[in-house]
């Protein structure tokens, strides 16, 4: 084992002038392009993570390499192709934009904090961004997962990647980790504002369906708080919107494999609702902070089709938080709280601050 060398150090020297505080916004990751070879690389990395699939390695290896990586890449590539934009994968586009905007929103609140983004799987990797931040003088880093609800399959996996990076670093920056923000008032309010805006434009459907990404049911029995955190987010959102219990439903999507996942499942629920006579439904995905394959393709395309086929008339998909000003403001306030006690003025570069203000103002209202 060898640790990365550090820059020369002289006794008594003042701290490096470039010593900074930084935030690393970490999201799941996405393939480089919507092709089968790119999907194979992405899925191989993602599905080899023991946090994601908890099947003993020798058995899972056979299934993954013998079956899944032979079939799924082509199918998934076609799905990605249907949502790909000129700027690339929506998940990456939104995450990148959120990082730029968060820096601007923190800037106008007086915090000169560097904000970068990283992907747990694919590029830019968490290790490469931490290397870069350290090279750029970051001495304090807040790890901010893009997941409001804690799950061992996502949040803990981001932390694993940070710990693995740190394990090869001689002089580790100060690190802080955000576990979750499923009940943060700003997050709930930003979600509620998305729904209200949608209602103002399109009217209110008979039912609001809140669809969260699923996880295997056994993780709940093993103590993962994800299910409870989703339920709490849903309850708080419903309360904010003044919705009675009979006007909304909470479901779980994106089931993978044959095991039981958290229930009720999104698509069967939509079919059941349509068959029971529900004609219109609003669908929101509160667990996803940016639109991605799971929302734009699985919900806005596949689930819509299933609902309409089963007799529903109106399926209205409500976009994710994306670049919502309320969301970025909430994230800035929340991040500022997490940075408490850390200097955030150490390297105020007026030109960079002005540039981030302009970026925030261009991308959305910076208040």
Q: Which of the choices Fe ion, ligand L6N33NVT, none does residue 24 contact, using the CB cut-off of 5 to 8 A by kind? A: none
Minimum CB distance to ligand L6N33NVT smaller for 30 or for 335: 30
Minimum CB distance to ligand L6N33NVT smaller for 55 or for 336: 55
Q: In the 8-state DSSP scheme, what is residue 319?
A: P
Question: Should residue 62 be labelled a site residue for Fe ion when binding is judged by CB under 5 A?
Answer: no
Q: Name the token pair of 241.
A: 């919107």
Minimum CB distance to ligand L6N33NVT smaller for 106 or for 184: 184
Residue nearest to Fe ion (CB): 228
Interface ranges with ligand L6N33NVT (CB under 6 A):
28, 30, 43, 47, 52-53, 72, 76, 89, 91, 147, 151, 153-154, 213, 215, 226, 254, 256, 287-288, 292-294
Residue 11 assigned ligand-binding role: no
- 120, 227, 255, 304: residue in contact with Fe ion (rule CB under 5 A): 227
Q: Which of the choices Fe ion, ligand L6N33NVT, none does residue 81 contact, using the CB cut-off of 5 to 8 A by kind? A: none
Number of chain positions touching Fe ion (CB under 5 A): 2
**φ and ψ at residue 121, rounded to 5 degrees:** -125, 140
Minimum distance between the CB of residue 61 and ligand L6N33NVT, rounded to whole angstroms? 15
Minimum CB distance to ligand L6N33NVT smaller for 208 or for 230: 230
What angle is formed at CA 141 by the lines to CA 137 and CA 147, rounded to 5 degrees? Answer: 140
Minimum CB distance to Fe ion smaller for 223 or for 277: 223
Q: Which of the choices ligand L6N33NVT, Fe ion, none does residue 227 contact, using the CB cut-off of 5 to 8 A by kind? A: Fe ion
Residue 213 assigned ligand-binding role: yes
Letters for 309-328 (x = contact with Fe ion by CB under 5 A, - = none) are: --------------------
Question: Should residue 222 be labelled a site residue for Fe ion when binding is judged by CB under 5 A?
Answer: no
Minimum CB distance to ligand L6N33NVT smaller for 292 or for 303: 292
| Cβ-proximal residues to 195 (8 Å cutoff; 6+ apart), any chain | 208, 237, 241, 282, 284, 318
Question: Should residue 228 be labelled a site residue for Fe ion when binding is judged by CB under 5 A?
Answer: yes
342-347: long-range contacts (C-beta < 8 A, 24 or more apart)? 342/21, 342/140, 342/174, 343/21, 343/140, 344/21, 344/106, 344/110, 344/111, 344/112, 344/113, 345/110, 345/111, 345/112, 346/19, 346/20, 346/21, 346/112, 347/17, 347/18, 347/19, 347/20, 347/112, 347/137
Are 297 and 82 spatial neighbours (Cβ–Cβ below 8 Å)? yes
Q: Name the token pair of 40.
A: 């194979």
Minimum distance between the CB of residue 330 and ligand L6N33NVT, rounded to whole angstroms? 19
CA distance 156 to 214: 16
Find the helix or strand (DSSP H, E) in which 207 lies: strand 207-213
| Cβ-proximal residues to 208 (8 Å cutoff; 6+ apart), any chain | 195, 238, 241, 243, 247, 248, 249, 281, 282, 283, 284
Minimum CB distance to Fe ion smaller for 153 or for 344: 153
Minimum distance between the CB of residue 50 and ligand L6N33NVT, rounded to whole angstroms? 11
CA distance 114 to 95: 15
Interface residues toward Fe ion, by CB under 5 A: 227-228
Q: Which residues are annotated as a binding site for Fe(2+)?
A: 213, 294
């Amino acid at each position: 084992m060898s640790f990365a060398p550090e820059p020369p150090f002289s006794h008594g020297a003042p701290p490096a002038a470039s010593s900074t505080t930084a935030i690393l916004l970490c999201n799941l990751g996405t393939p480089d392009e919507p092709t089968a070879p790119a999907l194979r690389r992405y899925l191989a990395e993602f599905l080899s993570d023991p946090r994601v699939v908890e099947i003993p390695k020798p058995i899972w290896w056979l299934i993954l390499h013998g079956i899944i990586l032979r079939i799924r890449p082509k199918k998934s590539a076609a799905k990605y192709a249907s949502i790909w934009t000129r700027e690339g994968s929506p998940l990456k586009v939104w995450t990148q934009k959120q990082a730029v905007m968060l820096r601007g929103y923190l800037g106008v609140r007086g915090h000169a904090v560097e904000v970068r983004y990283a992907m747990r799987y694919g590029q830019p990797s968490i290790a490469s961004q931490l290397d870069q931040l350290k090279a750029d003088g970051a001495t304090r880093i807040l790890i901010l997962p893009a997941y409001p609800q804690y799950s061992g399959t996502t949040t803990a996996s981001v932390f694993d990647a940070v710990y693995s990076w740190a394990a090869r670093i001689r002089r580790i920056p100060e690190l802080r980790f955000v576990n979750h923000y499923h009940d943060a008032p700003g997050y709930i309010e930003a979600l509620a504002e998305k729904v209200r805006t949608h209602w103002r434009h399109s009217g209110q459907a008979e039912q609001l369906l809140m669809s969260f990404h699923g996880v295997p049911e056994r993780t709940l029995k093993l103590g993962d708080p994800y299910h409870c955190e989703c339920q709490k987010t849903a309850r708080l959102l419903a309360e904010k919107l003044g919705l009675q219990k009979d006007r909304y439903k909470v479901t779980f999507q994106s089931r993978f494999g044959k095991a039981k996942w958290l229930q009720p499942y999104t698509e069967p629920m939509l079919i059941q609702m349509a068959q029971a006579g529900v004609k219109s439904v609003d669908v929101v995905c509160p667990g996803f902070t940016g639109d991605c394959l799971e929302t734009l393709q699985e919900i806005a395309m596949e689930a819509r089709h299933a609902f309409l086929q089963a007799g529903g008339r109106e399926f209205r998909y409500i976009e994710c938080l994306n670049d919502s000003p309320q969301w970025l403001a909430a994230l800035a306030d929340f991040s500022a709280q997490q940075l408490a006690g850390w200097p955030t003025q150490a390297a105020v570069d007026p030109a960079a601050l002005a540039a981030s203000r302009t970026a925030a103002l261009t991308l959305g209202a910076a208040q």
